[in-house]
Structure 1
Amino acid sequence: MLQLFAIAVGGAVGAILRFAMSNGVYKLFGRDFPYGTLAVNVLGSLLIGVLFILLIEKLAVAAEWRAGLLVGLLGAFTTFSTFSLETFTLMENGAFIKAGLNVFLSVVLCLAATWLGISLGRQL
Structure 2
Amino acid sequence: MKILAIGIGGAFGAIARYLINISPLSNIFQKFPFPTFFINITGSFLIGFFLILLTDKFTVNENLRFAILVGFLGAFTTFSTFELEIFGLIREKYFVTAFVYLILSVLVGFVGVLGGVWLAKRI
Counterpart of 1:75 in structure 2 is 74
Aligned-partner SS, 1:70: helix
Letter in 2 for 1:26: S
Q: Which runs of 5+ in 2 are unaligned?
A: none
Distance in 1 between residues matched to 2:2 and 2:29, nearest whole Å: 38
Deviation of the 1:60 alpha carbon: 2.2
Distance (whole Å) between structure 1 residues aligned to residue 49 and residue 104 of structure 2: 21
Matched ranges for 1:8-87 at <5 A: 8-24=7-23, 25-27=25-27, 29-87=28-86
Q: Is the 8 A contact 1:22 1:39 kept in 2?
A: no
Aligned residue type for 1:35: F
Q: What runs of 5+ residues in structure 1 fail to find an aligned partner?
A: none
Q: Distance in 2 between matches of 1:73 and 1:31?
A: 29
Give the CA deviation at 1:21: 1.2
- Tell me the distance in 2 between the aligned counterparts of 1:94 and 1:68: 39
**RMSD across aligned C-alpha pairs, in angstroms?**
0.9
Identity of aligned residues (%): 39
Residue 48 of structure 1 deviates from its aligned partner by 0.7
Q: CA deviation at 1:30?
A: 4.3
Shift of 1:31: 4.4
What is the identity, as a one-letter code, of the residue corresponding to 2:35? Answer: G
- Normalised to the residue count of structure 1, the TM-score between the two structures is 0.95
Q: Equivalent residue for 2:98?
A: 99
In structure 1, give the amino acid aligned to 2:2: Q
- Report how far residue 17 of structure 1 moved: 0.2
1:87-112 CA-to-partner distances (Å, cap 9, x unmatched) read: 00001111110100110010011000
Structure 1 residue 62: Cα displacement: 1.7
